[in-house]
Amino acid sequence: MIVNKRNTAIINHKRMVESIMGGFSYVESYFVGDILPDGKIVQRKPIIRVKHNYCGKEYNVRPDVLFNKNNIKKGYECPKCCGTYQNSIHYKNPEIANMIECDEKGQAVDTKLISPYGHDKYSFKCNQCDRISDKPKRLDIVVNFNYSCYACGDGISVPEKFVGKVLEQLGVIFKREKPFEWSEKIDEIKISQLGLGIDEKVIEKLTGTKKYDFYIEDYEGKRIIIEVHGRHHYEDNSLTGRTLEEEMSNDKIKKCIAITNGQINENEYIEIDCRKSDFNYMKDSIKKELKKILDEKILDNVDYVKAYTESQKSLKLLSWELYNNGKKSSEIARDLNMSQSRIVQYLHHGAELGKSNYDAKMDRNANRIIVKLVGKTCIKEFNSLNDLYKFLGIRMEVYRKYIGENNDVIDKDFIVKKVTKNNQHTKNLIEKLKQYDGFKVIRSD
C-alpha cells in the first residue's frame, strides 16, 4: 500500500474508533499483507487493534464489524466484558457477585466485568454457610433463581419464604405445601373431566397429588389458598422439567380442583405473581393480591424489608442453629412454621455435614411430653398434645387460637371474644369447650 493511502486509512481508523460509543481507544491498524503479532498474515480486509477503556483488554476487529449501522447508533459492545459498570453483576446483583469464588478453570473473576446474564459457569461460595458449590453453576440461572446451596439450601424459594414471613407478621396461621384429600391422586380422567381444554400429551405429565404453597384454614371464617408463582410460571424453562404450557396448565388444574372439589371460594384462591424475586416487585405483588382478603391498612403495617431480609436466610441453616442452641425439633417446627418432618430432614442433613449435632433418639425422647388438663376437681393426662386435641375434639389451629393464645387456659369469655363469626361451627366449639371452662393445660416440657 502506498504510504500516503496507508496514512489516510490510519487517520480514518483512529477517528472512527474514537467516535464510536462504548469507550474504545485506537491501538494499531493492519492492512492486507501485514503480519499480525501472532504471525498470521492479514487477508482480504484490514484489521484494527482496539482497546476497550473499561476492561483494558485489547483485541483485533474488522472495520466493517466495528462500524456497522447498529454500532454507530448504539455503540459497539465489547466482546470481552459487560461493557460498563452499570451492566455488571457487581452493580446489578451485588449479593450474588460476592458469592462468586472463581470461574470454571479455577481463575479469579472480576465481577465488575461480567454480566449477570452470561451463560458461563462459576463456582460459588455460599454466603450463609461458606461452603463452595459442589459443581460450577451457570450465572444467569443463579441470578434468575437465586443461589441454592447443596449444603444449606432449604428447597423453598425466596418468594415463598417472603410470603411466609409476611403472613407470620400478619399473625395468620398457615400450613405450607399442603395436600388435601381432594387433591390427591389426580389422574388423567379427573383432569379431562375438568373441561379445561388441556392437551392430552400435557395432561399425562400433570397427574399426581397437588400440593398448595400456603393453606390458611381459618382467617375470619375464610378458607384461603395462596399460590406463589415464580418465574417458571411465566417463562419457558428447561430447569424445572416442565414447559411453560405444562406449568400454566398445572396452575389451572390446581385452581379448578380447589374451587370445585375443595369448595374454596374463588376469591379466596390467591395467586401471587413473583416472576421477579426483586424486593419491590414482590412487595407490590403481595400487597396487590393480599388486599383481596385482608384489610389494606393492616398490609401497610407490615415491615416488608424485615420480611425480605429474613426470606434470604436458609431455613435449614436456621434449624441447625436452633437445634444446636438446645431446641427440640417440635419447637423449631413451631418457630419456623414448618412441618416437624421437614425440620427433622434438615437436621439429619446437618448431622451428615457435621453442622448440627442432631441425635434422632434424643430428639424423639425430648419431644415426648406429658400433657395435663388440670381443673378444680380433676386432672386428665395425655401422652401428647395431639391426644389432647383428639380428646377435646378440636384441631391444632383451633387450640392455638382459642386456648394457646390465652396461656393454655380454657376460658369461655376469651373464646367468645376471639370468635369473629357467629356461625354454627363456632357455637359448637364453644359448647364443646364450655365444660372445661377454667381448666389449664400443663405440658411437661
C-alpha 408/C-alpha 209 separation (Å) is 36
Please report how close the Cβ of residue 163 comes to Zn ion at its closest, in angstroms: 22
User: To 10 degrees, the CA torsion angle through 64, 68, 74, 78?
Assistant: -20
What distance in Å separates the CA atoms of residue 165 and residue 238, rounded to the nearest whole number?
29
Beta bridge partners of 373: 380, 441
Q: How far is the CB of 78 from Zn ion (least distance, A)?
A: 3
Closer CB to Zn ion, 99 or 203, in the complex: 99
Task: Tell me the closest approach of the beta carbon of residue 80 to Zn ion, in angstroms.
Answer: 5
Of 131 and 252, CB closest to Zn ion: 131
Work out the widest C-alpha separation in the chain, in whole angstroms: 116
Q: Which of 231, 271, 272 is nearest to 252 (CA)?
A: 271
Rounded least distance, CB 99 to Zn ion, Å:
10
Q: For residues 128 and 406, which CB has a smaller minimum distance to Zn ion in the complex?
A: 128
Q: Would you say 158 or 294 has its CB closer to Zn ion?
A: 158
Q: Which amino acid is at 190?
A: K
Nearer to Zn ion, 28 or 331 (CB): 28
**Smaller CB separation from Zn ion, 16 or 194:** 16
For Zn ion, give the closer residue by CB, 126 or 257: 126
C-beta separation of 142 from 127 below 8 A: no
**117 grid coordinates:** 446474564
CB of residue 129 vs Zn ion: minimum separation in angstroms?
Answer: 3
Q: Which residues bind Zn ion (CB under 5 A)?
A: 52, 55, 78, 80-81, 126, 128-129, 149, 151-152
Q: How far apart are CA 252 and CA 199, in angstroms?
A: 13
Which residues, including other chains, have CB under 8 Å from residue 123's CB and lie 6 or more apart?
Answer: 100, 101, 102, 103, 104, 106, 132, 133, 135, 136, 137
- Please say which residue, 194 or 353, places its beta carbon nearer to Zn ion: 353
Give the shortest CB-55-to-Zn ion separation in angstroms.
3
Q: Of 92, 106, 372, whose CA–CA distance to 83 is shortest?
A: 92
DSSP class of residue 247? H
- Write down the least CB distance from residue 251 to Zn ion, Å: 30
The b/e string for 358-384 (b: 16+ C-beta within 10 A; e otherwise) is beeeebeebbeeebebeeeeeeeebee
Residue with cell 459457569: 121
Beta strands across the sheet bearing 100-103: 100-103, 121-124, 137-138
CB 259 within 8 A of CB 266: yes
* Shortest distance in whole angstroms from residue 385 CB to Zn ion: 33
- Given the complex with Zn ion, which of 312 and 406 has the nearer CB atom? 312
DSSP labels, 103-144: ETTS----TTSS-TT---EEEEB-TTT-PBPSS-EEHHHHHH
| Minimal distance, residue 228 CB to Zn ion, in Å | 22
